[in-house]
Chain A
Amino acid sequence: MRTPRFSLFHAGSAVVLLFVVVVTLYPFLHMLAVSLSGDIYVMKNEVTIWPKGLNFKMYEIVLGDSKMWTAFNNTLLYTSLGTLIAIIITSMGAYALSRKHMAFRKQLTMMIVFTMFFSGGMIPTFLVVRSLGFVDTLWGMVLPGAVSTWNLILMRTFFAGIPKELEESGRMDGLNDIGIFFRIFVPLSKASFATIALFYAVGLWNNFIFPLLYLRSPDLFPLQVLLRNLVLAGSVSSGEVTRIGGDNQIVEESLKYATIMVSSLPILIVYPFIQKYFVKGAMIGAVKG
C-alpha cells in the first residue's frame, strides 16, 4: 500500500467530525456557562462558552426548591423499581424463549414480535391501565413499560449464544430450568444484564409520556414533568426577568439552564463510564440484524 499522504479527503473528514463534536458539546457548555454567570452578562448576551461573573445563585435556587427534590426522589424510585421489575421479567422470559426445547416457543415469539408492528394505541392502553386502577399510582409508572420487546429479543439472542454444554452439565447435577438459569446463566451474563438494565434505566429516567398519560397529582410527578412545567410551560411568550420571592430579581434564562443542567447532570456524569455497555448492547442487536 502507498503511504497515506496528507490528502484533501482526510482534512475534509476531520473538519466534518470536529464540527459534529462542537455541535454536540457546545449547547451543554453554553448552558453551563450561562447558568453560572452573573445576571448582567446574561442580559447583555455576552456569555458564550465560559462563565462571566461566576456565581452559583441559580443552583442555590434550583437545589433549594423542595418540588425539585420531590421530583428527583420520584424519578429515582420509578427508575430503580422499574428497572428491577423490568430486568427480572425480561431476563426470565428471554431465557425461556431462548431454550430450543421449550414447547410453543415459536408461537410465543411470534406473538411478541407482532406487538412491534401493531399496537392497540394510546387510548385503549390508557383504558386498560385505568381499569387496573394504576392511574395516579407508582404502578402506572413501572408496569405498562415493564418489557421492551427490543430488549427481550436482545437478551434472547444473548442467551441463545451460551454453549449448550453448560446447560447440560447443570442438568447432570440435577438442576431444573430455573436452577440452571439462576446458578449458571445469570452469573455468566453479568455484562449483558448490566447493559439491558442500563437501557431500561435510561428509558425510565427520561420517560415523559407515561407520567403525562397516567399521573395526575403533582406529588407524584417525576423530574421530566417538573422540568417541562418549569422550562417549557408558557415559554413562547415569557419575559426576560422573573421575580421569585422578595426582591430577588433573576434572569429566567439562567434559571432554566440551571434546572436543565441539574436534571441532566446524573446522566452526563455517569455516561462516559457506562457508554461501552450501551454500545455492546447495540452491537448484539446489530449482529443479528
Chain B
Amino acid sequence: MAQAGSTQDRAMVEQALVPVRIKRNNTMRLWHQNKYLWLMFLPCLLYYLIFRYAPMFGLVITFKDYNLFRGIWDSDWVGLKYYRMFLENPDFLLLMKNTFLLGVYNLVFGFPAPIVLALLLNEVKGMIFKRFVQTVSYLPHFISNVIVASMVIMFLSPTGGLINNMITALGFDSINFMINPGMFRGIYVLSEIWQHIGWETIIYLAALTSVDPQLYEAASIDGASRMRKLWHVTLPGISFAIVITLILNIGSVLEIGFEKVFLLQNPAIYETADIISTYVYRVGLQQGNFSYGASIDLFMGIISLIFIYSANFISRRVSETSLW
C-alpha cells in the first residue's frame, strides 16, 4: 500500500512538475529570443508609461481636492464634486457649444477643400505647373501656429492691416475683425484651410495614382464626359482614402488644436472663441484649479472617444471601411 501510494505520489508530483519545467523553459527561451528587442523597446516603453500612461492614472485627481503642496496621495477625496461643479456651471454649455461648433465648421469646410484641390491638381497636364502648385501649397503647413496667428491678427488689424487696407480701398469702413465674436469661427476655419489644404491633398493624390488608367479609357470609349469620369471613376477610386480621412476627422472633431485658438482669442470674443482646452489651460492650470480643469478635460476626452468609436462603427456598417 505504502509503495503503491508513493509511486502514485511520485507520478502526481512529476505530473505537477512537468508544466512548471516547460513553463520555465519557455520563459527562458522567451527571454533569450527577445532580450535584445525588449532592450531596444525599453526607452519607448518608459516614455509611454511616464508621459502617456502616468497622466491617465493622474486623472484620479478629478475625484480629489488636489493641492500642489499636499500632492496626489494626501489630498482629500471629494467624489464627484468637480464634475457636479462644471455640469452646474452655465459657462460649461457655452464652452461645449463653442468647441463643438468650431470643430463641426472646421470639418464641414475643411474636409472637402483638400479633396477638391487634389481633383483639380489631378486634371493638370503640365507636370512643372503641378509640382509648383503642390510645393507652394504645402508650405504653410510648416509655418508655426504662432506665425500664422500673428499674420492673421496683423492682416485683419483695423489700423493698416492688409485686409482692411483692401476694404478701405474699396470705399468701405474698416472692420475690427478680432473683437467681433461673430467672426471668430470663420477666421479660424479659413486660417486652418489656408494652412493645411495643400498638405492634406497628399493622401488623395497618392490614392489617385492607384486608379487604373484603363478605367478612364473604357469610360472614354463609352462616351463619358469629363464630369462623368470624375464622378464614376475618380471618386470611387479614392473613396477608401476619403472614408478613412472622414472617420479620423469626425473622431477628432472635438480635438481642436489648442495652440491656434489660444493665440487667436482675446477676452472680447470669449463668447465664441473660448473652447474647452483653452478654458482648461486658463482656469485649470493658470488659476490653479487643477482638479476642476482635469475633470472637464477627462469628460471631453471620454466624449471624444465615444465620437471616434461611433464614427468607426458606423463606417464599418455602411461602407465596410474602418480603422480597426
Interface residues, chain A, CB within 8 Å of chain B? Answer: 1-2, 4, 7, 9-10, 13-14, 16-17, 20-21, 23-25, 27, 30-31, 42-43, 45, 88-90, 92-93, 95-97, 99, 101-103, 108, 111-112, 115, 117-129, 132, 143-144, 146-147, 152, 176-178, 181, 202, 205-209, 212-213, 224-225, 227-228, 231-232, 235-236, 239-240, 253, 256-257, 260, 263-264, 267-268, 271-272, 275, 278-279, 282-283, 285-287, 289
Contacts and interface: CB of A to CB of B under 8 A. Distances in A.
A132 B50 CA distance: 10
A138 to B, nearest CB: 16
A74 to B, nearest CB: 14
21 contacts: A20-B137, A23-B194, A30-B162, A88-B43, A93-B40, A96-B38, A102-B41, A117-B305, A119-B301, A120-B53, A120-B58, A121-B55, A122-B281, A178-B39, A206-B144, A206-B146, A208-B145, A209-B259, A228-B146, A260-B147, A289-B244
A208 B263 contact: yes
Interface residues of B, dominant DSSP: helix
Interface of B: 30, 33-34, 36-41, 43-45, 47-48, 50-59, 61, 72, 117, 120-121, 123-125, 129, 132-133, 135-140, 142-147, 149-151, 153-155, 157, 159-160, 162, 165, 178-179, 194, 197-199, 202-203, 206-207, 217, 220, 226, 240-241, 244, 251, 258-259, 262-263, 266, 268, 277, 280-281, 284-285, 290, 293-294, 297-298, 301, 304-305, 308
B280 A45 contact: no
Contacts of A227: 146-147, 150
Given A206-B144, A209-B259, A123 B284 contact: yes
A283 B129 CA distance: 21
B285 A122 contact: yes
A2 B117 CA distance: 25
A282 B202 contact: yes
Contact of B150 (A42, A101, A260): A260
Nearest to A259: B150
Contact of A128 (B54, B162, B266): B54
B160 A120 contact: no
A117 B308 contact: yes
Given A122-B281, A178-B40, A227-B146, A289 B240 contact: yes
B12 to A, nearest CB: 32
Given A96-B38, A119-B55, A124 B294 contact: yes
B144 A205 contact: yes
Contacts of A43: 160
Nearest to A30: B162
A253 B155 CA distance: 10
B162 A93 contact: no
Given A24-B198, A108-B41, A115 B52 contact: yes
Contact of B117 (A20, A120, A123, A287): A20
A142 B196 CA distance: 25
Contact of A127 (B58, B179, B194, B266): B58
A143 B47 CA distance: 8
A286 B263 contact: no
Contacts of A236: 153, 178-179, 266, 268
Given A31-B151, A232-B150, A282-B203, A118 B139 contact: no
A122 B40 contact: no
A95 B284 CA distance: 39
A96 B281 contact: no
Nearest to A213: B285
Contacts of A240: 159-160
Contacts of A122: 258, 277, 280-281, 284-285, 293, 297
Nearest to A225: B146
B218 to A, nearest CB: 11
Given A9-B226, A253-B160, A115 B48 contact: yes
B118 to A, nearest CB: 11
B51 to A, nearest CB: 5
